[in-house]
Chains A and B, each alone.
Chain A
Amino acid sequence: MADKELELYIHIPFCIRKCNYCDFLSFSCDEEGIEKYVSTLVEEIRCKARDYKDDVITSVFIGGGTPSILSDDQIERIMNVVKNNYNLSDCCEITIESNPGTLTEEKLLAYKKSGINRLSIGLQSADDDELKLLGRIHDYQTFVDNYNLARKLGFDTINVDLISAIPGGSIEKFKESLLKVVELNPEHISVYSLIIEEGTPFYINYGEGGPLEDTLISEDDDREIYHLTKTLLAEAGYNQYEISNYSKAGRKCQHNIGYWIRKNYVGFGLGASSLYDNMRYKNTSDMKEYLRIKAEDVPCGYMIRKEVENLDIKDIIGEYMYLGLRMNRGVDLKKMSEQVGQDVYNIYRTWIDKCASDGLIINKDHIICLTDKGQDLANYVMAGFV
């Protein structure tokens, strides 16, 4: 039997402090709590390994939160348990997410030593006032120092995260941030348009009816920024390959692409999601429950599986469509029809034709992909495939 490809995601839910816009599973924690978590995580990774002994790991992604909050020793322990228990492919992409202000030379060296070959840095903005507004713990200079240090220590694949549509901002201000980043010449840039999520401090101020709602960037400006980003980055040699991601040739994030083409992936750690043989599930988001894996020696952590969902053929086809459409290369209907054994074009013919006539998708040689306008209205298009 041919070896199956598999991606690993490892979640580190800790941050020095939570950013004002963030609604993801992360929080601050003392060292003792972090250590307890890491040792449980290592245990989880180890005990689940036997389920995946026939799989080849094509990518590992340590995400957060702020994984760079962990000590060099903790990262090495996590990486060791991965390397010692899973079959990593020769060209396995191993990414760690980091935030400026938490990176040190020791940690970066530990990353290198343990095989991490891709560094992602959350900059978000090159403007110190905006960084303050977002509730970030760092300024721009700290980021530049961290970045240069990583380069010096030999990291040759670096991603920088930016946020667009920061309240009170402007097209010009964003352009400045973007160009500053381009100047540093990273291999990969992600740009996310800010979403005001319920339950965040931002929501109170900028949410519906909030006192500062009118300082939000207008939808029109937001879209102008989006298209400007695409153009500017293309000129600088970065090509968009997904709704929010741009890279230099051959430097796409393989792990991320895996999500959109429905590769199998297994998540470790609090609240981590998995997709394996058309079953989706999540680890528990309750820390106490999670830590019991170790305390009670629960085998392989099945007890912490939540929201288990077995996808049927209709779900699968829908996912292929709306996830695949996030990628610029689009979805190959012919190939997909062969994969799922159904004529996919026929199922969605009306919707595909409507979107095509509305100028939202291009349908060429069995391959459909979003147009520029389609990217602006991606959810509208995708909802038709659910």
Chain B
Amino acid sequence: MARRQTTWLIEPAGSRISWLCLAEVDGRTRIVDAGELDNQESFADSFQELTDRAAHLHLRPGDVYLLAPSERLACRTLRVGKLVGEKLRQAVQFEVSELGMEVGEALGTGDAALCWDVLGEGEEDVCWLAIRRTDVDDVLGALPPLFSDVTGMVAGIEAGLELARLAAGVPGSMALVMSRKGSLSFAIRNNTRLVATRTVNIHAEDTPENRIGIIRRELQRLLLYTEEEHPDLDIGICVVAGDGASEIAANLQIGRMEIRVAGKAEIQAAAGIPFADTVETGDSHTELLGAAWFLQSKRYLPELLPYERRIPELVPAGVVFRQQRKWFAAAVFFLILSAGIAAGGNWMWADIVDTRVQKAEPLLTDMHILKVQESGFREILRCRVEYADFFTKLTDQLPENITLQDATFDLDGRVNIKGKAKNNGDAERVQKILMETGIFDEIKPRRTTSENNSIVFEMEGTLKAGRKRK
């Protein structure tokens, strides 16, 4: 039988491990193996048994995802004011390092290194999940060779919370109680995602009544913490999932909170991943099924592997999406900006041209008027005889014994000048002076008559301006 390429999701918890194995069957991803082992002796022994089982079933691990042990996870809410990328990383790193110091002091080991990741990047409040580096190394160090090539160590609590919410039909915020054989996990969800989680260990000898008491106490503690961090958050529904969910739900009463059960069948149906024949999951597979569902639908699972062990090309889908969302946002921004500039430029250009055309149109009419006006001015200059200047010169130059009696200057006709002089010589001088004024084309004597020791002369001629006019 040929070995099949598979994806393994394994949840280690103490000496116990639970797993799901997914593979392509008939062109569709199915759950081809699932189970739970508790060797009681050691975690490594449980893994060895899983290795034998995989070999027996001819299942070769392809991608291996480990679910970080819930009881080792720390979860905090941090108000970061919509930080993203490196700035968000730095802000969270500061908070995480404080926790690392606290943990180190408590353990007396100096600062404890933590592996962490964030949910809600870009939001006002983010939720970060962290696990001690030594806890991660312990798990990774105990893996048998078949499973040692780990693709990711993810926190499955949010995936489990989402799956339980879907299974119980809760539309928005809720609390989750997830019961396992050795532990109880609690989680709070706002309208969009996980905001707080806590896991406590329980002992096999605890009675059901004790368990209810622990659940009530721990859930109320978590609700109190959430209320402080998110005063606006109103949790009205609590969903119980996992081992003995129905029994817990029947006995649990927390104020007026509505208690719902997310049973195994509903959880399996909500995950939407078909099972191969003969494979069944237990009540404690909620987180594993949730993680498988998230992986299938490429939703983001918080990554808790140390950075040096992460595989860049297999960064969870949510991270990729965040990067691409930035790219999309930038592309859309530039598209809108380009369209805006093009549209604005066009409108401005059209407006400028329109304004100028409107201003220029009357100028074209005025241009014609100005042209005609120029012709009028030129015509006046051409026809104008500067008579004042002419008469001033004439007065200065005419001898005193000469009197002008009558003069007519007709631009359209002739010039007639009649005057009295002593003799013809004076008349001749008058003619000469007139010609020297420069306004006449010609001046010639027409008649001279004697009158009481003097002569009366008449001259005629034409004006230069009159000739120009013609």
Please indicate whether A and B come from the same complex rather than being unrelated chains.
no
